[in-house]
Chains A and B, each alone.
Chain A
Amino acid sequence: MLKGKVAVVTGGSRGIGAAICKLLAENGADIAFLYAGNTQKAEETQKALEALGVKAKGYRCNVTDATQVAAVVKEIAADFGGIHILVNNAGITKDKLVPMMKAEDFDSVVDTNLKGAFYMIKSVYPLFLKQKSGKIVNVSSVSGLIGNPGQANYSASKAGMIGLTKSVAKELASRGVCCNAIAPGFIQTEMAEAFTGNEEIKNAIPMKRFGQVEEVAKLVLFLVSDASDYITGEVIRIDGGMAM
């Protein structure tokens, strides 16, 4: 399905990002993934992807640093001979009620989740514009759609990603580039350990279960494949019905 395509996935060494890398690789895409700091984990991810018979490489990059991002995207394009797919998945949380939330807590979450996505898009933009094709998927969150107590920073960053998605979609629609967002609900990952044992939360989900990373990856696969060529600027919830 994705043979000959090069996918860049941020936050690709763990959780949802790792599942996305795996599924895209299983479908034939070469994978360049960005990771923040866990080199050992990244090496494991790279080996697992290579075992699927595709080219794969992890790049250590702080997505909040515009210069680093520009350099790494250039390096990836040279290493892989191009870029066709970008998945902005890197994200952090620093949950606190507003009175306890320091300005730094707000900034760091917005910097990674929102500005990181912007820097990545800015760096692939000329490539996509020139090749007149490309798929961008921004991993937002239902928290960005309906808010969540303790997540003023995270919700703001994820809502911001939706605006970013729609503007980029409009800018590049005439050039054959699609830009969409997904809004996962409660997905079983390390990052979500705090709530996955919580029965009350589970019961608030119409499907009465948490989502799996593989389910999110399947949605991303759809959005980066030609099955979704006429879809752009869309936000698709994947939340067991929680935010409807």
Chain B
Amino acid sequence: MVFEKVAAMLAEKLECEVSEIKMDTKFEALGIDSLDVMELLMNVEEEFGTEIELGENKVNAVGDLVALIEGKLQ
């Protein structure tokens, strides 16, 4: 559920097919920089109505972000 939402958001931003985005897809490979990840995180916060601190967490791949959000939603 979280993954699908994140993938949809990414696909919209990158104007690509949702199927191109997998859990292990690296943001770097998508041509997304750290500021883009932050922006994505802010959109996620709005979408899920929660505040997410990046903190020390390394968010390199789509799955990292999904795990972070899921951890917050539990």
List chain A positions with a Cβ less than 8 A from chain B.
126, 129-130, 171-172, 174-175
Q: Bound state CA distance, A9 and B2, in angstroms?
A: 39
List 8 A-B pairs, minimum CB-CB distance, nearest first. Answer: A126-B42, A130-B42, A129-B39, A129-B38, A175-B35, A129-B35, A130-B39, A171-B35
List chain B positions with a Cβ less than 8 A from chain A.
35, 38-39, 42
Q: Are B35 and A126 in contact (CB under 8 A)?
A: no
Q: Which residue of B lies closest to A172 (CB)?
A: B35
Q: Bound state CA distance, A152 and B72, in angstroms?
A: 44
Q: Which A residues touch B38, using CB under 8 A?
A: 126, 129
A-B contact pairs, 6 of them (CB 8 A): A129-B35, A129-B38, A129-B42, A171-B35, A172-B35, A175-B35
Q: Which residue of A lies closest to B45 (CB)?
A: A126
Q: Bound state CA distance, A174 and B31, in angstroms?
A: 14
Q: Which residue of B lies closest to A126 (CB)?
A: B42
Shortest CB-to-CB span from B26 to chain A, Å, is 20
Q: Which B residues touch A172, using CB under 8 A?
A: 35
Q: Report the tally of A-B residue pairs with Cβ distances under 8 A.
A: 12
Q: Which residue of B lies closest to A175 (CB)?
A: B35
Shortest CB-to-CB span from B63 to chain A, Å, is 23
Further pairs besides A129-B35, A129-B39, A172-B35: 9, Cβ < 8 Å: A126-B38, A126-B42, A129-B38, A129-B42, A130-B39, A130-B42, A171-B35, A174-B35, A175-B35
Shortest CB-to-CB span from A220 to chain B, Å, is 26
Q: Bound state CA distance, A164 and B48, in angstroms?
A: 33
Q: Bound state CA distance, A129 and B35, in angstroms?
A: 8
Q: Which B residues touch A126, using CB under 8 A?
A: 38, 42
Q: Bound state CA distance, A175 and B34, in angstroms?
A: 12
Q: Which A residues touch B35, using CB under 8 A?
A: 129, 171-172, 174-175
Q: Which residue of A lies closest to B34 (CB)?
A: A171
Q: Bound state CA distance, A30 and B35, in angstroms?
A: 29
Q: Which B residues touch A171, using CB under 8 A?
A: 35
Q: Bound state CA distance, A174 and B35, in angstroms?
A: 10
Q: Which B residues touch A175, using CB under 8 A?
A: 35
Shortest CB-to-CB span from B46 to chain A, Å, is 9
Shortest CB-to-CB span from B59 to chain A, Å, is 16
Shortest CB-to-CB span from A124 to chain B, Å, is 13
Q: Bound state CA distance, A171 and B39, in angstroms?
A: 13
Q: Which A residues touch B42, using CB under 8 A?
A: 126, 129-130
Shortest CB-to-CB span from B36 to chain A, Å, is 10
Q: Which A residues touch B39, using CB under 8 A?
A: 129-130
Q: Bound state CA distance, A148 and B39, in angstroms?
A: 41
Q: Bound state CA distance, A126 and B35, in angstroms?
A: 10
Shortest CB-to-CB span from B9 to chain A, Å, is 14
Q: Bound state CA distance, A213 and B46, in angstroms?
A: 41
Shortest CB-to-CB span from A128 to chain B, Å, is 11
Shortest CB-to-CB span from A78 to chain B, Å, is 15
